[in-house]
Structure 1
Amino acid sequence: MPNPARQRILITGASSGLGEGMARRFAAMGRDLALVARRTELLESLKKELLAAHPGIRVTTAALDVDDPETVARVIPALATELGGLDRVIVNAGIGKGASIGTGKAGANRAVLHTNVLGAHAQCEAAMEVFRAQGAGHLVLISSVASVRGMPGTRTAYGASKAAVNALAEGIRSDVWGSGIVVTTILPGYIATDINVGRRGPFTVDLDTGVDALTAAIEREPAKAYVPGWPWTPIARLLRVLPLSVVRRLTGS
């Protein structure tokens, strides 16, 4: 069931993929949205679409490159002010390019680590300042099943970056335990988006199915959730204990 307490939702990386999909789902629930991404023309197009389909909601947009911590620290509180506060921030922006370590693609791997780790950290800093001032809020970090074990090939830096996101989320959760601030880590399995072309494996689901599972999990506000729950909850448990040779096969490598 929708959580009416989370009316004002900020989504980063909202111009495509999971972010765009979540924006559509939450708009259909009647939520007010702050949508940010680098590609502002796509954001404006999405804003027009959502307001036309759901005229009772508010949608505001802003350009945001999560690699620029000063801009993140300025834009997120400004959007909170514009909406009169934020009830949920979804740390979704990230990149998925990468290559096997030591194959001459160090720059691409560094970019993944920089954006997915330091970018997530910048978003969390800004969101948590808003939530601490309010005394309430729901921080959601989008991780990946690829974080459960070390991943080969194009997933190595990506999986490592998302493992860092898991630890960041858990540390924040511990820090605000018992307060009015809730922290959720979402670990999607293989969902067909532009970010993971070349990194998909068995059990890949289409974008609509993945986004439906993602938004439903976020609404439940668990500490951690794998999405879609089937088959990724049991697969994640297996990934933790299986021999690396089997993990390689299960992850499509």
Structure 2
Amino acid sequence: MPHPLRQRIFISGASAGLGQGMARRFAAMGRDLALTARRLDRLEALRDELLAAHPGIRVVVAAMDVDDPGSVAAVMPRLADELGGFDRVIVNAGIGKGGSVGTGEAAANRAVLVTNVLGSHAQCEAAMELFRRQGAGHLVIVSSVASVRGMPGTRTAYGASKAALNSLAEGIRSDVYGSQIVVSTVLPGYIATDINEGRRGPLTVGLDKGVDALVDVVEREPVRGYVPEWPWRPVAGLLRALPLSVVRRLTGS
């Protein structure tokens, strides 16, 4: 059975990287968008670009700091009211920095955990309140292949934060199982964005290819989708099965 058209789409972290790329792709597909980030000037420039290229769509933007649950709780319902509801919420905003635990990077590691876990949780709370009232909706949580196993070095806190999102998404999915609310977890591999600066390898794909693959997966609305599916679905399976001594060599940073 085909999924209903998700016309009104919310995307956080839309001022750069995957969020910005998804906004452009969905706009080209004729979808209406609610876009948030901390940098309002970049959002306004993106809104103007999208409306000029696709005059038939609606685009609303607002500054939102996912580290501030009050900001999230106020901004998301307001944008939903402007669009008449959300059909899909893409919890995308996140950061990646830090270092090995115990090497003086505690503040950076904590920032990653706060933004990626608590910031995503705040967005899920707002989205699910709306979807429960509507009786339908598609919640998309952007995780990472780095969540599959514990990661060394600069990706330790990042991988842990994304593993928490996998569990959060599954818990929400279990809670609304059998309803018209769909919950998808998407796990990008290495895509050439700022968050992967310095961590790119032979499996890294360009931003445009990565965004195309991400949007394609989101549109399919799977329980769990890898981006791109090849090679990251089999790679994720290998990461789960290989001994830690091998995993740390493959993922070292």
Under TM normalisation by the shorter chain, which class is it?
over 0.9
- Alpha-carbon separation, structure 1, partners of 2:108 and 2:248: 22
- The match for 1:193 is 193
Deviations 1:78-103 (A, max 9, x none): 11111001000000000001111110
Deviations 1:174-222 (A, max 9, x none): 0000001000000000001011212333301110010000000000000
SS of the residue corresponding to residue 34 of structure 2 reads: strand
Deviation at 1:250, TM superposition (A): 2.1
The TM-score, its normalising length taken from structure 2, stands at: 0.98
Mean CA deviation greater in 145-154 or 195-204: 195-204
The TM-score, its normalising length taken from structure 1, stands at: 0.98
SS of the residue corresponding to residue 184 of structure 2 reads: strand
* Superposed counterparts of 1:104-183, under 5 Å: 104-183=104-183
Amino acid at match of 2:116: N
**Percent of matched pairs sharing the same residue:** 78
- The match for 2:213 is 213
- The match for 1:32 is 32
Deviations 1:36-89 (A, max 9, x none): 000011000100110000000000000000000011011111111110010000
- Alpha-carbon separation, structure 2, partners of 1:191 and 1:245: 25
Amino acid at match of 1:49: E
* Superposed counterparts of 1:51-70, under 5 Å: 51-70=51-70
Amino acid at match of 1:23: A
Deviation at 1:3, TM superposition (A): 5.7
SS of the residue corresponding to residue 213 of structure 1 reads: helix
- The match for 1:95 is 95
Distance 1:122 1:6, change over 3 A: same
- Alpha-carbon separation, structure 1, partners of 2:29 and 2:252: 36
Amino acid at match of 1:102: G
- Alpha-carbon separation, structure 1, partners of 2:149 and 2:216: 25
Amino acid at match of 2:92: N
8 Å CA contact 1:202–1:252 kept in 2: the answer is no
Deviations 1:108-155 (A, max 9, x none): 000000000000000000000010000000000000000000000000
- The match for 1:239 is 239
SS of the residue corresponding to residue 35 of structure 1 reads: strand
Which runs of no fewer than 5 residues in structure 1 stay unpaired? Answer: none
* Superposed counterparts of 1:5-84, under 5 Å: 5-84=5-84
8 Å CA contact 2:153–2:252 kept in 1: the answer is no
Mean CA deviation greater in 199-208 or 162-171: 199-208
Deviation at 1:7, TM superposition (A): 0.1
